[in-house]
C-alpha cells in the first residue's frame, strides 16, 4: 500500500502537493503576533488608566486638603469659643484684666480705682495655678515682710517661682512705695496668699519702708482706693475686708495686727471710699 498523504512513522504529515506537483511546506503558526497584540492592549489599557490614576490621586489630595482644612476650622472655632467663654466668665466675675476703651486702667480710675498696671504672671503651678474663683467674698490685706522692696520686684519674685519652685505664693495685686499698683493675677483666678480663704478671696500685698510694716501715705492711699473699688465691683462691704491674720493668726499685715486701732481706722477709710465710689459710678 502507498503511504502518500498519510502520516509516516514519525507522525508528521507529508507535504501537500502544489498545483505544479512540487511539495509545499506548511507554515507554522507563530504565537508572537498574539503576544504583541496583548502587549499593545496592555499599553492601551495602561494609557487609558493613567488619567484615571491621576484623577484618583487628585481627588485623594483634594479630600485630604478638605479634611485638614475642616479640622483646622473646627480647632480655630473651638479656640474662639473658649476665648469668648473666658471673656464672658471674666465679665461675670468682674475680672480686672481687660485693657480696652470700656474696661481698662483709665476707666477704672473714673470709677474710683488707682491706676492699675496689669502685669499678669505666666500660668504655672507655683504662683498662678489658674484655679477659678467661684465667688469673691473677701478682700485680704497683706504686707510683703520685705522692707524697701518695690511692687515690681515682688511681682517678679512670684513670676520666678515657676523656675525656682521654692514656694507656692502670690497675690492678685501688689502696691508699691509710690502708690503704684501692679496686678499679677486676674480676679477670676485664685492666688496663693490667704491659705484656706484662697478659694474666695482677692489678696493685696502692700510694700513698706521698714520693719514696723506700717504703710507710707502713698501706699496707704492706694490700698484704700483699690480695696474700696474692688468692693464696689463685687458687691462687698468694708466688713468683708480682712487681714491675713484674721484667717490664720499670722502677724500680717504686721503694723495693722499689732495696732488694732490703725486697722479700725483703715476699714473706716475704706467704707467711706466705697460710698464715694458708688456715687462716682452712679449707683
Instruction: Let me know the angle formed at the C-alpha of 79 by 73 and 80, rounded to the nearest 5 degrees.
Output: 90
Task: Answer yes or no: are the C-beta atoms of 172 and 204 closer than 8 Å.
Answer: yes
Question: What's the mean pLDDT in 27-48?
Answer: 56
In DSSP terms, 138 is beta-bridged to: 201
Question: What's the mean pLDDT in 230-245?
Answer: 98
Q: Which domains does the chain have, with CATH numbers?
A: 42-103 (no CATH), 107-280 (3.40.80.10)
Give the confidence band of 38 by pLDDT, cuts at 50, 70, 90.
low
Beta strand 173-175 with 181-183: parallel, antiparallel or unpaired?
A: antiparallel
CA–CA distance, 160 with 145 (Å, rounded to integer): 18
pLDDT above 90 (res 183): yes
Among 39-43, 88-92, 231-235, the range with the most confident prediction by mean pLDDT is 231-235
pLDDT reported for residue 132: 97
* The three three-digit cell numbers of residue 221, written as one number: 492711699
CA–CA distance, 112 with 45 (Å, rounded to integer): 84
Instruction: Let me know the angle formed at the C-alpha of 156 by 150 and 162, rounded to the nearest 5 degrees.
Output: 155
Map grid coordinates 480686672 to a residue. Answer: 96
pLDDT above 90 (res 162): yes
Going from the C-alpha of 25 to that of each of 15, 20, 21, 28, 80, the distances in angstroms are 6, 14, 13, 9, 90
pLDDT above 60 (res 85): no
The average confidence (pLDDT) of the chain is: 83
CA–CA distance, 37 with 161 (Å, rounded to integer): 81
CA–CA distance, 91 with 85 (Å, rounded to integer): 10
pLDDT reported for residue 141: 98
Residue 281: CB partners within 8 Å, gap ≥ 6? Answer: 111, 112, 232
pLDDT reported for residue 110: 95
Question: What's the mean pLDDT in 133-162?
Answer: 98
* The three three-digit cell numbers of residue 23, written as one number: 511539495
Task: Answer yes or no: are the C-beta atoms of 181 and 109 closer than 8 Å.
Answer: no
CA–CA distance, 168 with 157 (Å, rounded to integer): 11
Task: Answer yes or no: are the C-beta atoms of 232 and 277 closer than 8 Å.
Answer: yes
CA–CA distance, 145 with 134 (Å, rounded to integer): 29
Question: What's the mean pLDDT in 214-223?
Answer: 98
Amino acid at each position: 500500500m502507498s503511504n502518500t498523504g498519510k502520516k509516516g512513522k514519525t507522525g508528521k504529515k507529508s507535504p501537500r502537493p502544489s498545483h505544479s506537483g512540487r511539495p509545499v511546506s506548511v507554515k507554522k503558526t507563530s504565537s508572537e503576533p498574539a503576544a504583541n497584540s496583548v502587549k499593545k492592549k496592555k499599553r492601551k489599557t495602561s494609557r487609558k488608566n493613567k488619567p484615571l490614576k491621576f484623577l484618583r490621586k487628585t481627588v485623594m489630595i483634594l479630600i485630604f486638603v478638605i479634611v485638614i482644612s475642616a479640622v483646622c476650622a473646627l480647632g480655630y472655632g473651638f479656640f474662639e469659643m473658649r476665648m469668648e467663654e473666658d471673656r464672658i466668665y471674666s465679665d461675670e466675675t468682674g475680672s480686672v484684666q481687660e485693657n480696652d476703651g470700656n474696661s481698662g486702667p483709665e476707666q477704672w480710675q473714673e470709677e474710683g480705682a488707682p491706676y492699675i498696671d496689669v502685669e499678669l504672671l505666666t500660668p504655672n503651678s507655683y504662683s498662678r495655678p489658674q484655679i477659678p474663683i467661684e465667688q469673691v467674698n473677701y478682700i485680704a490685706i497683706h504686707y510683703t515682710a520685705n522692707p524697701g522692696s518695690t511692687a515690681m520686684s515682688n511681682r517678679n519674685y512670684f513670676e520666678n517661682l515657676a523656675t525656682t519652685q521654692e514656694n507656692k505664693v502670690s497675690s492678685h495685686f501688689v502696691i508699691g512705695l509710690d502708690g503704684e499698683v501692679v496686678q499679677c493675677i486676674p480676679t477670676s483666678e485664685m492666688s496663693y496668699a490667704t491659705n484656706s480663704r484662697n478659694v474666695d478671696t482677692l489678696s493685696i500685698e502692700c510694700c513698706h519702708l521698714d520693719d514696723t510694716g506700717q504703710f507710707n501715705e502713698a501706699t496707704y492711699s492706694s490700698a484704700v482706693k483699690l480695696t474700696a473699688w474692688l468692693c464696689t465691683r463685687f458687691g462687698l462691704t468694708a466688713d468683708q475686708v480682712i487681714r491675713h491674720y484674721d484667717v490664720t493668726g499670722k502677724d500680717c499685715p504686721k503694723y495693722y495686727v499689732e495696732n488694732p486701732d490703725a486697722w479700725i481706722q483703715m476699714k473706716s477709710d475704706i467704707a467711706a471710699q466705697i460710698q464715694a465710689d458708688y456715687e462716682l459710678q452712679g449707683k
